[in-house]
Amino acid sequence: MTAATFAAEGAAASGFPLLTALVLVPVLGAVLVASMSKRRPEWIKLTAILFSVFTGAISVWMLGSFKTADAGFQLVSKHEWISSWGISWHLGVDGISLFLVVLTGVLFPLAIVGVDPHHDEKPYLAWLLLLEAGVMGSFLSLDLFLFFVFFEIVLVPMYFLIGGWGHGKRIYAATKFFLYTMIGSAFMLVGIAATVLLAKNSLGRVTFDLVELANDSNFAASTARWLFFAFAIAFAVKVPMFPLHTWLPDAHTEAPTAGSVVLAGVMLKLGTYGFLRFGLYLFPQAARNTRAIFLTLAVIGILYGAIAATMQKDLKRLVAYSSIAHLGFIVLGTFAMTSQSISGGVLQMINHGVSTGALFLLVGMIYERRHTREISALKGIQSVAPVFAAAFTLVMLSSIGVPGLNGFVGEFLVLIGSFLTARWWTVVAASGVILAALYLLWAYQRVFHGEPDEDNKSFAELRWKEGMVLLPFIAAIVFCGVYPKPMLDRIQPSVNALISHISDKTGYVEPQPVSTSQEAHP
Amino acid sequence: MNLAATPFIAPSIDWFAIAPMLILLGGGLVLLVAASLTPPWPKHLYSLSTIAIAVATIVVVCFQWGRISDTGARIIIGDALAYDHFSMFGIIVVCLALILVSLITDDFVRREGMDGPEIYGLYIMAVIGAIVMIMSNDLIVLFLGLETLSISFYVLAASNRKRAESQEAGIKYFVLGGFSSAFFLYGVALIYGGTGSTNFGRIIASFDFVSLQRSDSMVLVGVALLLIGLSFKVAAAPFHFWAPDVYQGSPTPVTAFFASVGKMAAFAAMLRVLVIALPNWKDDWRPVVWVIAILTLVIGSISAVVQTNVKRMLAYSSISHAGFILIGVEAAGHVGGSSAESRGMPSTMLYLLIYAVLVVGTFAIVSVVGRTGDAATELGSFRGLARQKPLLALALTVFLLAQAGVPLTSGFIAKFGVIQAAVDQRSYALAIVAMVSAVIAAFLYLRILISMWLADPEAGDDTREALRVPASTAIAIGFCVAFTLYVGFNPGWFIGLSETVVNVASSASGG
């Protein structure tokens, strides 16, 4: 606690632009890595690790400097960028983005340390660091133009990572990923331009500043609906929501392990985060009016993802489909628009990043050993590699949402929060929790139980290095499951602020939990 | 309108105002005459003298820019030319393109065994034609510029005498180009018939008279024919069919010249004719431009995807870029005239500047990869480029991503500019069609990137001629990369520059 306050004072006193550093340090690392000589691969790797760890350290320092009870944007840095178009370099962090930034900062070094790309390490590491900068920028931007720049620039490193270091149909998967996401962004770009130019009437000037637009703009209801849809398409592709999800199984499956970890861990959250930050915040009325569409698609995604995951033959594809289901819960919570459901959604973003990131790492380890991910080719691993199996079990249980582990907290909050405002959607969605147990436990049973056959007899036990990479994940899974309060304390104020912003703008009254809801729902 | 009664008075000539053309004309003629009277010059010298001429022109333009800022834009030489920031911006773009193209031509002509001053002379003449088009304030003057430009272009397309494709490109361009010039000229005649003048100022002033005399239909047919002629020059659908063949067949540096100088001149002429001369008919021509823009965007991007030759791909991509630029023209058409409110004209000019640099850089690399004979432009020729020449591959990656409109490159700023202009005029459909077709076109750029970075090597790759990046081409590519990234990161100054182009010399004052 003293360290945290000290850090906070230090940051405030020196005015060190923490958030700008979060974006620029990885870029610097990428440039440095790209310009190093290929003959000393160990130096290249060391540089990449140092820069990503340094970024992670800054993000943890930022967590320390964060003022818990403050709902607004903190550590803001704002500079003119393209003044003739009203665009500024405007970064800030609040409870909604705080842990996503920390997750990004921590996940990247682990992915870099934990996964070996096998060839062309230099460009691989450079692309990963650039990707980190792009993701950081997207979570921190408070300027529509700046956000779009980061949101779109993220595609390029990911495209090259999937295409260059992926498996099987890597080029097909990379191209599909790029074009799908770009189609979504195409609508968002027009939406951004329209939002800004239409807001000129009520603001009196052209600005891309998110906070100004959200507070002072005043759109006609039908206009706002179209603008909201333009943004929503981009986010729905990114999440991905049914029926725009088809890029995800391919991209996840063919991506290299580090790519999958980052893709599932943080990049999908760009979509759900975007809904909160740019959907609900900018167009509260439109989001409320059209919420039935998004709730329905979220619930379809939950069921569809779970059922499709059950049927998969490839372990990595199974995890990919499970992401569709999990992200469905987050969207459900977002559009249910109660303080509990949104907090649960934000928490679930982090939880999904941790558990699915770890799952992809574990599947990657299986692939390293056996060079296959076919469920039918794997058998009885538990008896030859018990520690590995134990780690897998814990991560899997967190993904299922077993109480005591992190997945439960987020899912439970989403479900009880959503029950107040979106009762029947929640009832259907709750069955997704059971389906998650079905597909994961069944897969576990087929892969780990039984007697190992010839091929699986020599399955190597978890190595030290692998264990050290997994340890932070497991620690986070248990800690958040047992004691989520420190996280919720930071998330809650910003979520409440968002809800009261929606109330101010639309006259929406958040229903209170059961004890006082007798009057509201007679 | 008793035009015939006016006695002829020789117009006073503002020599300083037309200095850019005089420098280019004098320099070009000296270069041609001196080079033909002397034994072959040492290498680089033809190209260096061309660059020196272009640099001198840009320096003069910078002085003129300041003078226009002080004293205001005006019409010069008997209302024939407009002396304003719009012209100066266009001249800077074509001269910049001339410098870059000369740099990449230098080694190319020696590699192909066609070294000599002719190609540079033709470049310079074409640029003079382009400047006349950009500055024109009269349809006849515009036509003179157009023909000067076009005739140089026809010869340039056919300038590689050893390759049949080049000859074919020249003939195709000549026949189709002549046809389109005829359309344009017929349009000029009808406009003259309808309004009684070819001068922009008098065309505007004649509007009341035209609507009273009910000779509107003749003007409208004239506008349609002018649009056909100009659409041909900018390679807008459905008048784009010449572009892929000509782009593919012409020597690669010449293709870069067509795509940069040709586009700039033709679009400047289009803005002059439509927005400045015919704002009174804007409600008639704007829907046509709207349709042409949509067709161009969709046809350009979809046809690009199925090509296998990179030069052809880039030809179609230049068509789809023309569609984007037309969006700016359409947006400018909503306000018409020289209203400072419009984002249309600045965004169009900014797009042209950015695209000129981008396309020259791209074709510079294609020219290097084309190897001796300028023929290795199939997609497969780019296979493994990342392994052989990583920096070259990186540069091409920057150009292609910029053309696809990825942020932090100049291409994104250009696209965002025209999209903003369209959205500002509530042309949402146009903006969305444009962005979606940009995604389709992105697939084409990805295909080249895949071939460079990701494709597995095939048998026979090692037997290909080794790639050689000459110093002059490297300088041009380096400049283009630096420009593309700089504008992507810090476009403020360039946006400000482009916003001054709305200060067009008032045509009405010449009437």
- Residue-wise pLDDT for B436-485, tens only, equals 999 999 888 988 988 888 888 787 777 777 888 889 999 999 999 999 99
Residue B443 is nearest to which of A152, A153, A179, comparing CB atoms? A179
The pLDDT of B77-101, averaged and rounded, is: 92
Q: What pLDDT, on a 0 to 100 scale, did the predictor assign at position A219?
A: 84
* B163 touches B374 (CB < 8 A): yes
> Does A194 touch chain B if contact means CB atoms closer than 8 Å?
yes
Say yes or no for a CB contact (<8 Å) between A84 and B416.
Answer: no
User: A143 near A89, Cβ under 8 Å?
Assistant: yes
Ranges of H-type helices in B450-499: 471-489, 492-499
Residue in the structure block whose two tokens are 């984007």? B324
Asked if B407's CB is within 8 angstroms of A153's CB, the reply is yes
ipTM reported for the complex, 2 dp: 0.88
Tell me: pLDDT of B414 over 50.
Answer: yes
Q: Do A186 and B432 touch (CB under 8 A)?
A: yes
Neighbours of A444 (CB within 10 A): 19
Q: Is the separation of the CB atoms in B307 and B316 below 8 Å?
A: yes
Of the candidates A6, A8, A142, A88, the one whose C-alpha atom is nearest the C-alpha of residue A494 is A142
Number of CB atoms found within 10 A of residue A109's CB: 22
pLDDT at position A242, please?
84
Residue B75 forms beta bridges with which residues? Answer: B82
Say if A166 is an interface residue toward chain B (CB within 8 Å): no
Task: State the count of interchain CB pairs (< 8 A) between A and B.
Answer: 80
Query: B390 pLDDT exceeds 90?
Result: no
Q: Is A82 on the interface with B (CB under 8 A)?
A: yes
In chain A, the residue whose alpha carbon lies closest to the alpha carbon of B492 is A82
- Mean pLDDT over residues B3-27, rounded? 83
Question: If you measure CA to CA, which chain A residue comes closest to B404?
Answer: A182
How many CB atoms lie under 10 A from the CB of residue B296? 30
Q: Which residues of B touch A197 (CB under 8 A)?
A: 420, 423-424
Which residue is associated with the tokens 């490297």? B474
Contact A142, A210 (CB under 8 A): yes
- Nearest chain A Cα distance for residue B489, angstroms: 9
Partner-chain contact A186 B439, CB within 8 Å: yes
Which residues in A lie closer than 8 A to residue B495 (C-beta atoms)? 82, 84-85
Q: CA angle, corner B103, sides to B100 and B104, nearest 5?
A: 95
* pLDDT > 80? residue B503: no
C-alpha to C-alpha distance for A492 and A342, rounded to whole angstroms: 9
Q: Is A80:A157 a contact under the CB 8 Å cutoff?
A: no
Report yes or no: A210 and A278 within 8 Å, Cβ to Cβ: yes
Give the residue on B whose Cα is nearest the Cα of A197. Answer: B424
Query: Do residue A183 and residue B439 have CB atoms under 8 angstroms apart?
Result: yes
Residue-level pLDDT at A520:
44
Chain B segment 435-454 residues within 8 A of A by beta carbon are: 435-436, 438-439, 442-443, 446, 450, 453-454
CA distance A221 to B282: 32
* CA–CA separation, B347 and B344 (whole Å): 5
pLDDT at A522: 40
* Cβ <8 Å between B491 and A170: no
Of B407, B432, B454, the CB nearest to A148: B407
Q: A206 and chain B: CB distance < 8 Å anywhere?
A: no
Nearest to B423 among A149, A171, A197 (CB): A197
Chain B, 35 to 64: residues with Cβ < 8 Å from chain A are: none
Q: How far is CA A499 from the centre of its chain?
A: 21
pLDDT at B323: 94
C-alpha distances in Å from residue A170, one per residue of A129, A164, A423, B445: 21, 8, 42, 17
According to the model, what pLDDT value does residue B174 have?
93
Closest among B257, B327, B321 to B292, alpha carbons compared:
B327
Q: Is B337 left (phi over 0), alpha (psi -120 to 50) or beta?
A: left
Residue of B nearest to A153 (CA): B407
Identify the helix (H) or strand (E) that includes residue B496: helix B492-499
Calculate mean pLDDT across residues B291-299. Answer: 94
Cross-chain Cβ contact A186/B407 below 8 Å:
no
CA pair distance A77, A206, nearest whole angstrom: 20
**Rg of chain A over all Cα atoms, to the nearest angstrom:** 22
pTM for this prediction: 0.91
Å between A82 CA and nearest CA of chain B: 5
CA distance B431 to B160: 40
Could you give the CA distance from residue B62 to residue B49 in angstroms, rounded to a whole number? 20
A189 and B416 within 8 Å at the Cβ level: the answer is: yes
pLDDT at B509: 43
Q: Which chain A residues have a beta carbon less than 8 Å from that of B416?
A: 145, 189, 193
Query: Which residues of B fall within a CB distance of 8 Å from A199?
Result: none
Q: How far is A185 from B358, CA to CA, in rounded Å?
A: 23
- pLDDT score, position A521: 45
Residues of B in contact with A137 (CB under 8 A): none
Residues of chain B in contact with residue A156, where contact means CB-CB under 8 angstroms, are 401, 406
Q: Between B419, B428, B446, which is nearest A178 by CB?
A: B446
**Amino acid B72: pLDDT:** 80
Please judge whether B454 and A171 are an interchain contact, meaning their C-beta atoms are less than 8 angstroms apart: yes
Average confidence (pLDDT) per 10 residues, chain A, 522 residues: 41 67 90 84 87 92 87 86 87 90 92 83 89 93 92 91 86 90 91 90 86 85 90 91 88 88 90 91 90 92 92 90 91 91 92 91 88 84 87 91 88 90 89 88 88 81 87 91 90 90 85 55 42
pLDDT number for residue A11: 43
Instruction: Give the residue from chain B lying closest to A148, CA to CA.
Output: B407
**CB of A275 closer than 8 Å to CB of A334:** yes
Length of chain B: 511
- Residue A358 phi, psi dihedral angles, 5° rounding: -65, -40
Nearest to A190 among B435, B442, B453 (CB): B435
Contact: B423, A190; criterion CB under 8 Å: yes
Q: Does A189 touch chain B (CB under 8 A)?
A: yes
The amino acid at A255: A
**pLDDT more than 90, % of chain B:** 55
